Chain A
Amino acid sequence: MQTDKTSKAYLLLQLFWIFFKIGPATFGGGYAMMPMIEKEFVDKRKWMDRQEMSDLMSLAGSAPGGVGVNASAFLGYRLGKIPGALAATLGITLPTFIIVFLLSVFYSMFREEPKVQAAFKGIHGAVIGLIAVAAFKMGKNALFDRTTVITAAGSLALLLLTGLNPMVLIAVGLVLGITVIRLKKRLGLPVHTERARKENEPVIEYYI
């Protein structure tokens, strides 16, 4: 019994530590950490096979929230139930929290410096570009028939013109997709829920 308890605690510690190491490396979005996770879980520790790993990853991509946090919670749960999920999520969140917190303190100290302000103006431009990249990639994947184009244009118009709460739109989107697909089926129209893609092309629900 005692050895059971210690091995459980050791597993939780391991889960925490693996994600703690991977966390700071996820610059530019959660997908950057996927190869590292696979190396730790599949190749090094042989905790699961490649197929199960890729199933877990696509699940992580479709739940709300950052894909990195979702993946760590999934893997933690799979290996150590709820305590495992908590240990893994804490592991992935803590290092970036510390880094962001330090940056934030650093920024408050130097925000009056003209050089810092100038650098931020430049970075502001880069962030506009980054958001445009995300919109471009998402649009390429999401807009493939009349319904999706109208939905995207309509939601943009609502946001710009009415100041609607964006959370309402997301909630509507969840219901809208299901309704439209059922309606199309009822009317005997062809149904595609995804853009036609080449074989082996991955489905990605997140961009940056």
Chain B
Amino acid sequence: MLFWQLFVSFLKIGFLSFGGGYAVIPMIQYEVQQHGWLSTGEFQRTVSIAGMSPGPIATNSATLIGYQTAGLAGAVTATAGIVLPSLLIVILIAAFFYRMNANPWVKSSFYGLRPIITGLIVYAAIHFGFPDPSEAIYHWTTFATLLIGVLAFVAITKYKLHPVTVIVCSGFAGIVLF
């Protein structure tokens, strides 16, 4: 039953995971909360691990959540669930609508999708910025974490640092600070 739930949840997410990466995080969070698979803190750490690993963040999150809820078999089930829709849709497009990108229908639907994806990513950032409810909100560590976030933003947009470099540096900053 748990395996079936994992598979179906990630299959649904897979079909609608336009915009990739962080836009998918709120959808995954919604499913995780609905089923009570992980606490907020566990979910946040899961996304951190997914962001540190190579490969797509959404797929990595699926693997990690599958593992935490049902072991290796759960990891395989969740990963298969999120990858399968891409595979199916890509095969369909490749077989039937080869010149799909020039299609005005596709252009119009992306016109509507892009701002919604933006809204989803901003939502993910806000949610991630809130601390684990089990911790005190006005603790100094909350502000230190947000400060690291601001520095990371500047490092990537202004100084063009690689995301992985930023993640590794913040890990060390965390060891020193907390």
Contact A59 B93, beta carbon cutoff 8 Å: yes
Report the separation of the CA atoms of residues A85 and B153 in the bound assembly, to the nearest whole angstrom. Answer: 37
Indicate if B105 sits at the interface (CB-CB under 8 A): yes
Set of chain B residues within 8 Å of A119, measured between Cβ atoms: 171-172, 174-175
Tally of chain A residues near chain B (CB < 8 A): 102
**Taking the nearest CB of chain A, how far is it from the CB of B34, in angstroms?**
9
Stretch binding the partner chain, chosen from A5-13, A34-42, A43-51, A96-104: A96-104
Contact A27 B100, beta carbon cutoff 8 Å: no
Hey, what's the 0/1 contact readout for B51-87 against A, CB within 8 Å counting as 1?
A: 1111111111001100110001001000100110111
Tally of chain B residues near chain A (CB < 8 A): 105
Q: Given A66-B20, A125-B148, A130-B51, are A135 and B122 also a contact pair (CB < 8 Å)?
A: yes
Say what secondary structure dominates the interface of chain B: helix
Q: Which positions 34-93 of chain A face chain B at CB distance < 8 Å?
A: 55, 58-60, 62-70, 73-74, 77-78, 82, 85-86, 89, 92-93
Report the separation of the CA atoms of residues A177 and B104 in the bound assembly, to the nearest whole angstrom. Answer: 11
Set of chain B residues within 8 Å of A92, measured between Cβ atoms: 55
Contact B55 A177, beta carbon cutoff 8 Å: no
Contact A125 B116, beta carbon cutoff 8 Å: no
Set of chain B residues within 8 Å of A167, measured between Cβ atoms: 12-13, 16, 27, 30
Report the separation of the CA atoms of residues A138 and B166 in the bound assembly, to the nearest whole angstrom. Answer: 20
**Taking the nearest CB of chain B, how far is it from the CB of A81, in angstroms?**
9
Which 8 A-B residue pairings sit nearest by Cβ, starting from the closest?
A: A122-B174, A177-B112, A129-B152, A125-B148, A65-B86, A96-B55, A66-B56, A155-B119
Contacts A/B (CB < 8 Å), 17 sampled: A59-B94, A64-B89, A65-B17, A66-B59, A85-B94, A100-B55, A100-B64, A128-B149, A130-B167, A135-B22, A135-B118, A135-B125, A151-B116, A165-B27, A173-B113, A193-B107, A208-B57
